[in-house]
């Protein structure tokens, strides 16, 4: 998928993967169908007010009674923008992973990442309240959306093709896939809305990391030697860029001033 999706490669920039695997299509359709059902079962037509949210979103204070919530929450969404952005990211990066892994492995990974994120969403608030990091009322707030599972997919993509470039929309700059998730967390904390579940996103990354570590895909990613290598490489590129920039300026001055004295 190099040069495709938000990819940025030698072939230019293209929007979207070249192929959408059937498993990705089926998951997209499933999320869309559930969203329509939410709207149809809502008294005011807003998906977030659907009766389905009361039963199937994650409520930390009810999760030990309704044990299915850490799995079912990932199929619900609060708004058209919510489901749209989640499914857009899932389509762009999930298609590449589904083609690389096959349908069965990809589906299992996606569902386990979403479920793992759901467990973190359900359990962490209890610890936060116990340590006086959050008010007790936070246990009654619902969480819904496929973001945790999608972040797991983003992690798999960034570890599978760490040196591929992703073209961001805001800001419109290319970035290596390995740095994509840290940048997303930074943007969330700085500019994201207050109702974003940072815990859920982190839970999806943690679940994905555990699953990928079993295949050896995380080995050496955060090692000291790897970080030193990337730091030295970055500094060398900066120096090379500075030398090239100085040569360009010198050439510009030479072209502007013309040739020197003739002898």
3-class DSSP assignment, residue 174: strand
110 and 240 within one domain:
no
Q: Provide the CATH number for the domain around residue 141.
A: 1.20.1540.10
Sheet holding 174-176, edge to edge: 7-8, 165-167, 174-176
pLDDT the model gives residue 28: 97
Identify the CA nearest to 104 among candidates 36, 16, 23.
23
Q: Print the domain residue range for 207.
A: 7-213
pLDDT in tens, 203-221: 999 999 999 988 766 655 5
pLDDT the model gives residue 1: 37
Identify the CA nearest to 203 among candidates 91, 113, 138, 263.
113
Domain count, the chain: 2
| CB of 6 closer than 8 Å to CB of 167 | yes
228 and 173 within one domain:
no
Rounded to 10 degrees, the C-alpha dihedral 198/199/201/202 comes to: 110
171 and 251 within one domain:
no
208 and 128 within one domain:
yes
pLDDT the model gives residue 8: 36
DSSP annotation string for 2-46 = TTSTTEEBTTB--SS-S---HHHHHHHHHHHHHHHHHHHTSTTS-
pLDDT the model gives residue 233: 74
227 and 114 within one domain:
no
pLDDT the model gives residue 192: 65
pLDDT the model gives residue 148: 95
- 262 inside domain: no
pLDDT the model gives residue 228: 65
- Spans in the chain with pLDDT lower than 70: 1-15, 170-171, 192, 216-231, 234, 254-263
pLDDT the model gives residue 263: 44
235 and 176 within one domain:
no
246 and 160 within one domain:
no
């Amino acid at each position: 998928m190099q040069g495709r999706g938000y990819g940025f490669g030698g072939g230019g920039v293209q929007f979207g993967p070249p192929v959408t695997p059937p498993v990705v299509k089926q998951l997209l359709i499933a999320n869309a169908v559930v969203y329509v059902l939410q709207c149809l079962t809502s008294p005011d037509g807003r998906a977030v007010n659907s009766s389905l949210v009361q039963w199937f979103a994650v409520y930390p204070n009810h999760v030990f009674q309704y044990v299915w919530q850490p799995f079912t929450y990932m199929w619900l969404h609060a708004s058209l923008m919510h489901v749209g952005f989640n499914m857009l990211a899932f389509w762009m990066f999930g298609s590449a992973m589904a083609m690389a892994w096959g349908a069965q492995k990809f589906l299992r990974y996606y569902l386990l990442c979403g479920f793992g994120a759901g467990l973190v969403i359900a359990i962490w608030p209890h610890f936060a309240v116990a340590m006086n990091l959050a008010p007790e009322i936070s246990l009654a707030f619902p969480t819904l959306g496929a973001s945790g599972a999608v972040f797991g997919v983003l992690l798999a993509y960034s570890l599978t093709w760490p040196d591929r470039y992703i073209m961001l929309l805001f800001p419109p700059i290319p970035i290596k896939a390995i740095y994509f998730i840290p940048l997303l967390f930074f943007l969330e904390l700085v500019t994201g809305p207050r109702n974003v579940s940072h815990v859920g996103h982190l839970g999806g990354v943690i679940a994905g990391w555990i699953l990928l570590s079993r295949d050896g895909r995380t080995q050496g990613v955060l090692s000291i030697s790897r970080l030193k290598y990337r730091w030295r490489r970055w500094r060398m590129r900066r120096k090379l860029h500075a030398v090239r920039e100085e040569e360009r300026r010198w050439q510009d001055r030479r072209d502007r001033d013309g040739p020197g004295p003739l002898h």
